[in-house]
Amino acid sequence: MRRGTFVRWGVPIAAAAVIGAAIGAGPVVAAVSGDPVLPERSAQQLLADAAAAVEKTEGPLPMSGTVQQTASLGLPALPQTGSAGPLSLLSGSHEIKVWYGEGDKLRVAMPTQMNETNLIVDGDQAWYFDSATNTATKILFDPGARPDDMAEHAPQEMTPQAAAEKVLAQADEHTAVSVTNTAEVAGRPAYQLVLKPKDAGSLVEEVRLALDGENFVPLQVQVFAKGSAEPAFQVGFTQVTFTPPAPENFTFTPPPGAKVEEKKLTAPKKEELSEAHAEEARKAAEDVKIVGDGWTSVAVLPATLSDLKAQGGEEAQGGEEAQGEDGPRFGDEADPAALIETVLKSATPVSGPWGSGKLITTKLATVLLTDDGRLLVGAVTPEEITKAAGVR
C-alpha cells in the first residue's frame, strides 16, 4: 500500500473516532471521572432529607425536565397499536416533558410525531389537550379533591416523584434499605438509595432510587430483575433544571377551532375512569385474595381462559366508550384481547400437586393461569407462585 493512502484514510478514521467518542462520551467520562463526590449520608438521613425537602417546599420543587422511561420487561412483542397508549409504556423507551411550578402548578407533555398531549394543572382546574383530536378538556375539581390525585392517573405516574413515593411506601420489614455509591443522573450528582427485597422468592433484585445531591428530589428509579445487569424498568430525568418554569407553561386557553369539553371530577378514586371500570374493580376486589406479603405477595383472582378473552373484548369496547364520553385517556389503547392472545401464546403449561395451568414469566412478574380457574400474579419466581397456587 502507498503511504499516501494511509494518510488520507486516516482522516475519516479520525472523524469516526471523534464521533464515536462523542456518542460514548457520557459513559466514558462517567467511568473515568468516577462517581461524583457528595457528603456521606445514611439511608435514614437521606430519607429524612428527602422528606424535609418536600415539607419545606410544600409540594414538588419548581423544576422542569425531560423524563425518559424505558422498560424491557421481557414481554413478548406487543402489538403496536396506539403510539401513546399506556400499554405502549410496557415496552421500549418513552419520553415525556414535565414542568413543576410553584404550588399546585404542573404541566406534563407527551410529544409524539407531529402531535402532543398535554396536561396542565393550575390549582383547582386542569386542562387536557390532545392535538391529535384537537380536543381540549377542562377538568374541574370538586372542593376537597386534590389535583395531585388527578395527576396520579395521568402520566405523572411515570415521574420519579410518584414512583419514589410508591417505592418508599413499600420499604418495610421485607426490605433492606441501603445507600450505595453516588451516581450522575441528568448531569447532576445524586445519592442512590437501594431497596433490596429480603425474600429470595422475589424476582426483583433491587430497586435503585436516585436522589438529587442538592435538593433530594428523586431523579431516577431503576428496577433490576434477578440475574440482569440492565434495569428491567427505568424512569428518570435525562435533563433537569431546578429553576421555576415560565408561567406560560401553566396557563391554557383552548385554541380556536378546538373541541372543548368539560368534565367534573367528583370524589375521584384510583383506578377509576368510568362507571364500568369502577364496577369491575369493586367486583374484582371482592374476589381478589392476597397470598404472602411484602415483595412476595401474590394476587389470586378467579379467572378462566375464556373469561379473560371475553373480558378483553369487553374492555376494548369499554375503553372506546370511556374515551368518547369521559375524556381524558392518553392516546389509543392497544386492543386488550389481542394483547392477551399474544401473551398467552408464549405461556408454558405447568403442573404440580396444586393442579395444572399455564405459566407466563417475564423479568419482573410471573403469571399463572390455573386450569381450575384462578389467575395468580406476583413479582415472584415460578416456584413461589406455584406454592401460592397450593394455598386454597
Which positions touch other proteins (CB under 8 A)? 1-5, 8-9, 11-12, 14-16, 19, 22-23, 66, 77, 80, 91-93, 97, 109, 111, 113-116, 118, 127, 129-134, 136, 239, 246, 248-249, 252-258
Of 22 and 37, nearer to other proteins (C-beta) is 22
- Residues 107, 119 contacting (CB under 8 angstroms): yes
Shortest reach from residue 81's CB to other proteins, in Å:
12
Shortest reach from residue 146's CB to other proteins, in Å:
24
Query: What sign for the dihedral angle of Cα 227, 207, 298, 336?
Result: negative
Residue 153's DSSP bridge partners are none
Of 130 and 384, nearer to other proteins (C-beta) is 130
Shortest reach from residue 31's CB to other proteins, in Å:
20
Of 29 and 176, nearer to other proteins (C-beta) is 29
Shortest reach from residue 251's CB to other proteins, in Å:
9
Of 2 and 345, nearer to other proteins (C-beta) is 2
- Residues 72, 230 contacting (CB under 8 angstroms): yes
Record the cell numbers describing residue 347, joined without a space: 405461556
As to burial, measured by CB atoms within 10 angstroms (0-12 exposed, 13-18 middle, 19+ buried), residue 267 is: exposed
Of 258 and 299, nearer to other proteins (C-beta) is 258
Of 118 and 323, nearer to other proteins (C-beta) is 118
**How far is 5 from 9, CA to CA, in rounded Å?**
6
Shortest reach from residue 240's CB to other proteins, in Å:
12
Q: What are phi and psi of 384, to 5 degrees?
A: -65, -40
Buried b (16+ CB within 10 A) or exposed e, 35-50: ebeeeebebeebbeeb
Shortest reach from residue 24's CB to other proteins, in Å:
12
- Residues 220, 185 contacting (CB under 8 angstroms): yes
**How far is 354 from 331, CA to CA, in rounded Å?**
41
